[in-house]
Structure 1
Amino acid sequence: MFVRPAEIADEKLLWAMLYEASYAHENGIDSPDQLRDVPKLAHYVEGWGAPGDLGVVGGFDGVPLGAAWLRLFGPADPAYGYIDADTPELAIGVAPESRGTGLGTALMTALLEAARDKYDAVCLSVRHGNPAYRLYRRLGFVDVDDSEMTNLAGTTSITMVLRFR
């Protein structure tokens, strides 16, 4: 397994991992390229490499199969798990064939370690029933009270936050 910092050249992979993470296929979206037409999701990746962007890519045998990244959003264009303009929101996606291999944990651990020195906290949005919820709790994320919202798939998501200080 490898994990490395994400680069601008990884934008295509980030779109693919956003497709996995968002369950877009359940909403009739057939490919990662179609996410560009969904503004609420597109801003997680569009223009990757902006100030404040931070991410990691990982996989096996030199093949990238997952990514975890974070971005800052403002109140005028918040993301699903928005808390405030100083708290970046994290997104993570792992290719289906690599789920359950420890890749997601490795990506999250590396990204949170890198974020610890730059930010006071990190937030994310997760669907009720998503198995990754247990990983987030194990890493120290806690639920944000009254943060339930309807996501793109029409199910309920909750915002979680990890405070470093």
Structure 2
Amino acid sequence: MSLTEGADAPDFSLPATYGRSVSLASLKGKPFVLYFYPRADTPGCTKEACAFQEGLPDFSKLDVTVIGVSKDSMKALEKFAEKYSLQFPLASDPEAKVIDAYGAWQEKSMYGKKYMGIERSTVLVDANGKVAKLWPKVKVTGHAEDVLKAVKAL
């Protein structure tokens, strides 16, 4: 992950579920969580999204926006959001520009074959637009709770 804690959060603007859009400019002045996941409606990504949805009331109480980002099409994201009643924005980054800027576009390997893909990772950005905490190579179980603890510590 090329991004470092304390660095300025890279600028972004992406379309998101339910006709929304998300951008660094629109989130200015309040902390937010960007989590990057490989693909909507796959087992690990579903478990992670549902954990963030479950924690959403706690994040909301702290005025923190949670945003999921993948290369999925808007159609796939809308279907995923509806299927699991996900209320937070899922943003589409088909060209992986934001994913890459936040260090989640990584070389991966499966069955000895190397390819580029999204590394499951999370970035907490503080109210000043600085990277407060990074979670590279996320393990899904307990992750949303860890992120909430970090938000509370801001």
Give the TM-score of the pair, scaled to structure 2: 0.33
Q: Which has the higher contact order (CA 8 A, sep 6+)?
A: 2
- Scaled by the length of structure 1, the TM-score of the pair is 0.32
